[in-house]
Structure 1
């Protein structure tokens, strides 16, 4: 009987500890449950509800609720080697670090050069695009919703994302995304 009592006490202590590790962050237009250690930085956004959250690992999570929210599309710049030579003839000091250089651009599968995988999921009744890096620490993790509602000046969109996140921050962000609730 004593063992059962101790087991029940331990269970309730563990249950209470896990509840203490989560908090609800309320941004007016939406709420999200996050790890307690996430901290919001104030933003000076004037045309949307935007901000930054810093994780325990000092990773930055950005959000934007408004008409101009970024759709989180990746646009790798893929060029063939011949084109690179022409570009360098025009300007030998041009930054080429972001370029993907291939021998034959016609044989390229653009998807092979994207850093993140894309899937779609229903979050709080909205069709959401979810991004997860193909390789942890290299790419975007986040959510984009194309239409939350329509207002006088246009459609309200939403994104919540981080780039090149640590494994822990990525896992926490993906868990938090599932708890999003929008003010209707």
Structure 2
């Protein structure tokens, strides 16, 4: 009986599947990511900067501080003049072939609906106790994906506002999905009580 019980316990222990995810503690916040993603250290001058390297070798960078960039303020459209397009590298032209874009004689006089050629789409959602802006490329894999949180603490009136941005560029659909899943479950230790 004892031998059978020991064998059953050993089988149970060895049959347990190793977790596919791990939690990385960045100090101010924690993020649960796929097991094969690695922490990436960066030296910041006026803010806390760091990131992750995914299994596809994409780099996801966060910036936590007073000057964190808000990509949602940069409305980009994929409309180019012929002269601008002619200066693109072959690699840039090749990447553009895969996405919806427009080449015109003169981008200032040409008639087109700019909404049809937006590079990004934005949504609002909550992360922990904060409202966050999510950004993702209109054309999957072509542009930045990530979040911006305007105020973790402080206010703009006295210029001591702490913000956070966390972005990756040209992510595959599966990497972007894992990244957004991790961001939505992010936990802030120093800010949410």
Q: What is residue 5 of structure 2 aligned with on the other side? A: none
The CA deviation at 1:161 is 1.2
Query: C-alpha offsets along residues 9-33 of structure 1, whole Å, 9 cap, x if unaligned?
Result: 99xx5xx536x11111111111111
2:178 aligned with 1:179 = no
Q: What is residue 132 of structure 2 aligned with on the other side? A: 128
Select the residue among 99, 117, 120 that pairs with 1:116.
Answer: 120
Q: What is residue 158 of structure 1 aligned with on the other side? A: 164
- Greater share of residues in strand: 1
> Counterparts in 2 of 1:1-184, with a 5 A limit?
13=15, 16-17=16-17, 20-73=19-72, 74-76=74-76, 95=87, 101-102=103-104, 105=108, 107-150=111-154, 154-182=160-188, 183-184=190-191
Contact 1:115 1:140 in 2 (8 A): no
Query: C-alpha offsets along residues 88-111 of structure 1, whole Å, 9 cap, x if unaligned?
Result: xxxxxx94678x754564744433
**Closer, same or farther: CA 80–142 of 1 in aligned 2, 3 Å:** closer
Q: Tell me whether 66-75 or 29-38 shows the greater mean CA deviation.
A: 66-75
**Closer, same or farther: CA 26–117 of 1 in aligned 2, 3 Å:** same
Contact 1:69 1:159 in 2 (8 A): yes
The CA deviation at 1:77 is 6.9
CA RMSD of aligned residues (A): 3.2
Q: How many residues align?
A: 165
Contact 1:128 1:144 in 2 (8 A): yes
The CA deviation at 1:135 is 2.2
TM-score, with length taken from structure 2 = 0.70
The CA deviation at 1:49 is 1.0
Q: What is residue 6 of structure 1 aligned with on the other side? A: none
Query: C-alpha offsets along residues 100-147 of structure 1, whole Å, 9 cap, x if unaligned?
Result: 754564744433332221110011121111112222211221111111
CA distance in 1, matches of 2:27, 2:58: 23
Q: What is residue 3 of structure 1 aligned with on the other side? A: none
